[in-house]
Amino acid sequence: MSNFAGGSWATIGGGQNNLASGIYATVGGGYLNRTNAMTATIGGGEYVTVTGKAATVAGGSWITVTADYAAAGGGWRNTASGYAATVAGGQHNIASGSRAAIGGGQDNTASGSYASVPGGRGAVAQGDYSFAAGRRAKAYNQGCFVWADSTAADFASTANNQFAVRATGGVTFSIGSANFQVNGSTVWTAGNDGAGSGLDADLLDGQHASAFAPYTHTHPDRLAVPVVFDDFDRTRLLNLGRPESPLWITHTSGLGVAGMNPDDGLFSVTSGYGGPGAANISGTKKLSVLDGTLIFKTNVVAYEDNNTAYGDGLPRGLVNGTDRNNAIEFINHTGSAVRARTVRGGAATETVYWIPGSYPQNTVNTPRSYMIVAAATEVKFYLDGVLIATHTTNIPTVPLNPYFGVSYNGYGNVPMGIDYVSFEVIR
């Protein structure tokens, strides 16, 4: 199909199979670019769609701009759906808040009005006037500033107008000879200690140091709180400093494969090409809701195609070994919806959640964060930080472990990529 400039005074400069049907709309070139909006502009690229009035896309691939006066510079699979919102570039970024902005990076979201994400990966600026930068910085509150270092874990705000920084390598302020003050009060440092400083760092709440227990003091009668964390770059199990291994057991059948994917750095379980196959990975650390509140977190790319879920829905969550008759899990419902499930003795309670947006921008086949908070009387499911379901029935009480699996009897390959896993209990 050739180019078609159907709108009054619309223009197409070149390329192939482009459409400009809005009044005064412009498509500079590229392939399969579409705009039906008045005074909208597409510079080039491929599979670009612009439906907002006076919206602009410079280029890129699979870019979508749906709001009036919104803009995207380029990149891949970026979306600007908020009024006058901007995505400059990067991959899988979504600016859905009014006048929100994303500079670049990957898997970032700016959903608050006037919210900003300059870059990074997995950052979320959800609060109005919020700012999130770095790896998995989560600015959930209004007016907050969240900066996170490269640690592969969520770091979130907890209050409006908060300044929150994760810097595991330390924080340095260089202020010369001036005093460092908080709310008008001078902060004690090694440089302003001594007579005449006006500060007393020897006392804490009126007590000398001898009144307090040393940091080496322990309470052997207290129950340890185990934490499992694996980012598949560096594996560790924290249990009062005593490492245990292995963390995982893999199972494969047919053409199924489980192992690291060197192309994207994710741990992958795949059904395999050419026929039936299955693969799963199950954790060796088990905890029950009778032990306390279980918290499971992961970031997963779950395969779908043409908005269709394949095989067993690519379960990810907590199960009893590999037995999904007792489970707390997410599975694919379609390519743009998930099912939250609590299963006890084979009886299931399920909630279907449709991911906001339009396909393919709302696909499950992109990195998404999943979290389960499970107690004996209530289980809460979160997707990308949003509470999507609360279950009070069919909650299993047997010990559960992290589990990820794929199974497909068809010819094509069905993969799932896992970025990290966190599993803990709060007693």
List of domains in the chain? 227-426 (2.60.120.200)
pLDDT digits (tens, 9 = 90+) for 343-365: 999 999 999 999 999 988 899 99
**Which amino acid would we find at residue 417?**
G
pLDDT digits (tens, 9 = 90+) for 237-296: 333 333 344 688 899 999 999 988 766 678 899 999 889 999 999 998 899 999 899 999
Whole-number mean pLDDT of the chain? 88
| pTM, to two decimals | 0.49
Token digits for 106?
């990957």
Q: What are the backbone angles phi and psi of residue 350, rounded to the nearest 5°?
A: -130, 145
Q: What are the backbone angles phi and psi of residue 209, rounded to the nearest 5°?
A: -60, -30
Sign of dihedral through CA atoms 317, 166, 143, 75? Answer: negative
pLDDT digits (tens, 9 = 90+) for 6-47: 999 999 999 999 999 999 999 999 999 999 999 999 999 999
pLDDT value of residue 222? 38
Using a 10 angstrom Cβ sphere, with 0-12 exposed, 13-18 middle and 19 or more buried, the burial of residue 378 is: middle
Quote the CA–CA distance of 334 and 357 in Å, as a whole number. 14
